[in-house]
Amino acid sequence: MLNINSRIYLAGHRGLVGSAILQKLKNSGYKNITVQTSQQLDLRNQKKVANFFKKNNFQFVIIAAAKVGGIYANNTYRADFIYDNLAIQNNIIYSSFLNGIKNLIFLGSSCIYPKNCKQPIKEDYLLSGKLEETNEPYAIAKIAGIKLCESFNSQYGTNYKCLMPCNIYGPNDNYDLKNSHFFPALIAKTFNATQKNKKEIVLWGSGTPKRELMYSGDLADACLFFLKKKTKETLINVGSSREKTISEYAKFIIKKLNPKLKVKFDKTKHDGTKRKILDCSIAKKYGWNSKINLDFGFESTYKSFIKNYKK
């Protein structure tokens, strides 16, 4: 049973999601949280991860560590995305099992689902069709992690849960225009254009694909919520159930930062999947719901962006 003195290992505490989880744990009074930077522990190194788990007596594990990025990064660094993510998750999940850890949260992404599957996306649609080509290596790695957790649950009775979120945004995001996801890229492009007195920004694709967006604090809440639960299902979708087109998100940010700015779409570039909205019926059945709206989430995110920009 999870309590404030439980020994928790959080992998990936510096990233967008991991930092939100760490803050949530601390705010909730948990006192025994272990984190390691990539310099302290290379999660791709099986021997080092195995020794790390042997030295510590963890009871709960949350895997927020992953190699992540947007369309450009996923499509350009395909080998890195599949190798690094397979290595990280395999080492942590297997070491957890070997050290008798029964409760684990593995985080993935909605890109695990087929490119053209029915909407809203149910967990049952996994492996029912072809993946989006640009992020296929990353998606395959994450699917392997889900099946690894599912197999340990089936064979050994562990309580390993795989939470699949929609697009996440929030403080401590990556704003690199080549490697970031669409929402932080929109913030950075709009801000940069405003600073340079430009009249327009250019965005990839047609602007018509729809995306479901959720604040990182909501995902952190879901992690803690399901860490306490014994669930029948291994794979559980977590999302906001709210979606907009890329064009609408761009207009939302422009209205906040620079209403005079125009948007131009480069239709020679990838659009990615046309629509991705998750069916979160299973999460809701257990009593979890997203709570934070886009206006509040954006204000918090933008404050963090400006603070880091000034640094």
Instruction: Please identify every residue annotated as catalytic.
Output: 138
Please state whether beta strands 60-63 and 103-107 pair in parallel, antiparallel, or not at all (unpaired): parallel
Coil, strand or helix at 78 = helix
Please state, in angstroms and rounded to a whole number, the distance separating the CA atoms of residues 231 and 161.
8
Please say whether the beta carbons of 86 and 144 come within 8 A: yes
Whether the Cβ atoms of residue 134 and residue 121 lie closer than 8 Å to each other: no
Q: Which residues contact 251 (CB under 8 A, 6 or more apart)?
A: 263
Side-chain-facing half-sphere of 22: CA atoms under 13 Å: 19
User: Residue 186 region, left (φ>0) first, then alpha (ψ -120 to 50), else beta?
Assistant: alpha
Residue 12, C-beta contacts closer than 8 angstroms, at least 6 positions apart? 18, 63, 64, 65, 66
Element at 249 (helix H, strand E) = helix 246-257
How many angstroms separate the CA atoms of 155 and 284, rounded? 27
Question: Phi/psi class of residue 170: alpha, beta or left (left: φ > 0; alpha: ψ in -120 to 50)?
Answer: left
DSSP string, 126-163: TTSSPPPGGGHHHHHHHHHHHHHHHHHHHHH--EEEEE
